[in-house]
Amino acid sequence: MQQNNNLQALLNSSPTAFKVSPFKINSTTLLVGTANGKLLKLSNANNTNLSIVSWEEITGNLFVGSISAIEFGETENDIFVTFHNYGVSSIWYSSNGGTSWVNKEGDFPDMPIKCILQNPLARNEVIIGTELGVWACENFNESTPIWTSSINGMRDVKVVDLDLRISDNSILATTHGRGTFTGKFTNTTSETYTLDPINSVQDICKSTTSVDYNFNYTPL
């Protein structure tokens, strides 16, 4: 009963984003984002014994708006959170499991962000899905990341989800109105991006860290 009261006090707005930690084996850690900007951590979420399940709020002090996505990075302590509102800081990162947060919006324009992924082959690179396609940065670890639009082929369509298949670093970008795009993080060397409009294939965000994204359009 005490646990339920604790949950009711913390979860006082509609959930808008969920993420299960991929690092736990014998238990489940679930992160829940809400419409009023709260970020909650549920430990032992797989346990039916409510006395073992625990909720904790790890909301950043400057979180404002509705949380659109939550992602883990290299460890369970590396957490990425995005917001889909105008007029707010939309990209946040924690390296200590939510104890403190750093604003990573940098020079990104004021628009909603729907999803985020860190490149597992180059941790300094991050891609985001926005109201205007995919954007990317190559200096995420710096205090002021520089974000670049990478919408060639995809146009300025809303990207609502980015999923990573860790077995081969494949990416699925889901859009609102133009189907899905597939891509892959690879260890190739290139510093520019090109577009083949005939095959609807885009190569976006070629970087000096030798990581390449190749998105192929697949209609719904």
pLDDT tens-place string over residues 170-189: 888 888 877 888 777 766 54
206 occurs within a structural domain: yes
5 occurs within a structural domain: no
Arithmetic mean of pLDDT, 40-58: 85
pLDDT tens-place string over residues 113-146: 999 999 998 889 999 999 998 999 999 999 999 9
77 occurs within a structural domain: no
> Please, are residues 38 and 62 in contact by the beta-carbon 8 Å criterion?
no
Confidence band of 45 (pLDDT split at 50, 70, 90): confident
Arithmetic mean of pLDDT, 96-118: 97
2 occurs within a structural domain: no
pLDDT tens-place string over residues 186-201: 665 443 323 233 334 4
* Eight-class DSSP state of 6: H
Arithmetic mean of pLDDT, 8-20: 88
Token look-up 């404002």 returns: 64
194 occurs within a structural domain: yes
**Given its phi and psi angles, is residue 8 left (phi above 0), alpha (psi -120 to 50 degrees) or beta?**
alpha
49 occurs within a structural domain: no
Residue 187's pLDDT is: 63
Could you list the residue range(s) of the whole structural domain that residue 187 is in?
104-220
142 occurs within a structural domain: yes
The token pair at 50 is 């409510």
160 occurs within a structural domain: yes
* Count of structural domains within the chain: 1
Arithmetic mean of pLDDT, 54-74: 95
